[in-house]
Amino acid sequence: MTTDTASNRRLRLPLMLTLMIALGACGMKAPERAEAMNFARAETSSHQQIDPARRDRAVAIAKELRARGQRVWCVPFARNASGIDLRGNAKTWWSQAAGVYQRSHTPKVGAVMAFSATRKMPLGHVAVVSKVVSDREILIDHANWRRNQISLGMKVIDVSKANDWSQVKVTNTGARTYPVAGFISK
């Protein structure tokens, strides 16, 4: 046996193992594949929907505020639409929710998506998940993303390398990505 042959055999074993694992994953359904690869898996279900009464109430309150010349903010809108009773700037919601509400890195309908603070968004931002489209796409309802307006059903894409919803793109922001602390739910 030559040195080249022994070297080739040592390289073949890891390559074959990698190929077998990859092919094994091909036979799995997407949720099983995500679980096997330890990715965050969105809870997709056709019957899940945001509570329409809560959403309607949140929209009505925001419209009343605007009619009176007052500002519409993301925090009260998210609180009214989700029932997650937290106060203060959006950037504090993730830490405030610890031990009080469920926190995860998996989106589900009705959960509050807590955006982390950034230089351009120093107070953070919160939005309510209105629909889970796929493991990497959701729709959100929120206020004040566009100044003093309510946005319903806005598309958000998970662009994180680890598929963990830590970095997202929001449909109207072009190439900009936003950091996300996670999802808060009851």
CATH classification at residue 109: 3.90.1720.10
Question: Sign of the C-alpha dihedral, residues 117, 162, 95, 183?
Answer: positive
Tokens 């009464």 -> residue: 53
pLDDT for res 174: 72
Q: Under 8 Å CB-to-CB from 71, ≥6 apart: which residues?
A: 65, 144, 148
* Cα–Cα distance, 94 to 79 (Å, whole number): 13
Query: Could you tell me the pTM of the whole model?
Result: 0.74
Burial (Cβ within 10 Å: 0-12, 13-18, ≥19) of residue 133: middle
For each of the chain's 186 residues, which pLDDT tens digit applies?
Answer: 555 555 555 556 555 555 455 555 445 444 443 443 333 444 444 456 788 888 999 999 999 999 999 999 999 999 999 999 999 999 999 999 999 999 999 999 999 999 999 999 999 999 999 999 999 999 999 999 999 999 999 999 999 999 999 999 998 777 789 999 999 999
pLDDT for res 172: 75
- Tell me if 154 is assigned to some domain: yes
Amino acid occupying residue 65? L
Q: Do 109 and 155 reside in the same domain of the chain?
A: yes
- Tell me if 117 is assigned to some domain: yes
pLDDT for res 37: 36
Q: Do 108 and 177 reside in the same domain of the chain?
A: yes
- Tell me if 9 is assigned to some domain: yes
Domain limits for position 32: 3-36
* Cα–Cα distance, 99 to 161 (Å, whole number): 28
Q: What would the two tokens of residue 69 be? A: 């010349």
* Cα–Cα distance, 63 to 74 (Å, whole number): 13
